[in-house]
Each structure stands twice: as structure tokens, then as C-alpha cells.
Amino acid sequence: MNRKTALIAIAGAFAALGILAALVGPSCGNVKSVERIARATDLYSKGDIDDAFNAVESEFASGFKGCTLDELRYDDEVESKFLDEMLAHEQKGKGDLIVVLSEFTTDWRAADEGFSPNDRYEGWQWILTRPSQDAPWKVVDWGY
């Protein structure tokens, strides 16, 4: 095998690896282009909501293989929908609770995570808590 043939073989191998990597894609959730819809409310400031969004994005990115997070939402409408749940939680003395809504899409790899492949999930809820206003939000549950 001459030098030219060896270089062509090596270049072909790298090209094949590149194509394979592109087909398989990342092994975690994609949060690269999330639309954030957030407005301060009576309960939470825009900063509080952004911190909750950051926690959701971190959780999504660490799992949710084959899924792309498209939107996170928290506003007056979301707050009023889940206000009873939030107030009941606060009355138990456990600190703050916030419910964030999301939309995400799946590809063929999402079946490994229990999702329907090539589908869109809307109104997916993320429940986060924190013991005090100075503490970070922690995702404690998600789903419908």
C-alpha cells in the first residue's frame, strides 16, 4: 500500500466517523434554541422564573435523549392555572413551588426514553421547589 492509498483510506475512515456522529447526534437533550416566555407575576420575579428555567434546561440536557426543548413558559396564565397547588405547597412550610410548562419534539432516539418517536409534546409540566428565596430551584417532578 503506497502513501497516497493510505491517506485516502484514513480520510475515508474519518469521513465515515463524521457521518456516523452526525446521524447518532448528541446523547442528551438539546437545549440550544429554547424560546423562553416569562413575565414577572405576583409570586415570582423575572429573575426567579429565569432561575427555574435554567434548572429545567439543565435537567433536560442531562437526559431526554433524542428530544429537543423548544419552549419554556411561565406567566400569569400558568400561575393562575397552578396557583392552588403552589399555595397548598407553601402552606405546608416547604418553601416555594413553581410549575413551568414546556414544549419539546422528539426524534427516533426518544423511544429509549419512553417517548413516542418523531412527536411533539405540549404542556409538559416541570415542578420545581426551593426551601427559601435565596436557594436554587430543584426539579422534583415532570410529566403531564
Q: What are phi and psi of 32, to 5 degrees?
A: -75, -25
pLDDT by residue (tens digit) across 110-126?
A: 998 899 999 999 999 99
Distance CA 131, CA 138 (A): 9
- The DSSP code for 111 is G
Tell me: pLDDT of 71 over 80: yes
Mean per-residue pLDDT, 54-66: 96
pLDDT of residue 15: 57
- Which pLDDT belongs to residue 21? 46
In sequence order, the β-bridge partners of residue 101 are: 73, 125
Which pLDDT tens digit goes with each residue over 7-46?
A: 666 666 655 555 544 455 556 899 999 999 999 998 899 9
- The pLDDT assigned to 22 comes to 46
Report how far Cα 68 is from the mean position of its chain's Cα atoms: 8
CA distance 17 to 27: 16
Rounded average pLDDT over 58-80: 93
Single out the residue of 57, 65, 66, 136 nearest to residue 102, CA to CA.
57
| 60 has a pLDDT exceeding 80 | yes
With a pLDDT cut of 70, the percent of the chain lying above it is: 81
Is 91 or 44 the better-scoring residue by pLDDT?
A: 44
Residue 90 pLDDT class (50, 70, 90 cuts): low
